[in-house]
Amino acid sequence: MITGTQIRMARAALKLGVRELAADAKVSPATVTRIEGGAPANDSTIRTIAQALGQRGVRFEVARDGQLSVSIVKSKLSDEDKSFVEAVLQRRVDEAIEQARLRANIDDRHAERTERSEAK
């Protein structure tokens, strides 16, 4: 399943605004923003957004190990733009990893509290 972070990364790589992507996908800008923020979405909406990005050269592929990768097939970026995109993508990946760590810590704390409560 394609994540909001991957959609945001693909959009950043294309230097595409939320409104532009929303217009291409025929969804509201608020929908794109919610999905990129991690809110749940219908599979059909995700597919529609992925297709809109696909028309601009973005490909979402599943690797043998089950991981989803995002790549730009068509690119007319200058070297300066490529560096910018790489920096944005790396920052987004770092943010996603940090969010996952924070969520895991919260889940661990919740599990510990539950175990303590059940032990009493």
Task: Give the pLDDT of residue 75.
Answer: 56
* Residue at 33: amino acid letter: T
The two tokens of residue 42 are 């219908």
Residue 119 token pair: 């032990």
Rounded distance between C-alpha atoms, residue 107 and residue 38, angstroms = 17
Give 64's DSSP letter.
T
Sign of CA dihedral 20, 26, 29, 33: negative
Q: Which CATH number fits domain 4-119: 3.30.70.890, 3.40.50.300, 1.10.260.40, 3.90.1010.10?
A: 1.10.260.40
Distance, in Å, from the CA atom of 5 to the CA atom of 38, rounded to the nearest integer, reads: 7
**Per-domain boundaries in the chain:** 4-119
Give the pLDDT confidence score for residue 67 in this predicted structure.
77
Query: What pLDDT, on the 0 to 100 scale, is given for residue 96?
Result: 84
What pLDDT score does 86 carry?
A: 83
Low pLDDT (below 50) residues in the chain: none
18-43 pLDDT, tens per residue? 999 999 999 999 999 999 999 989 98
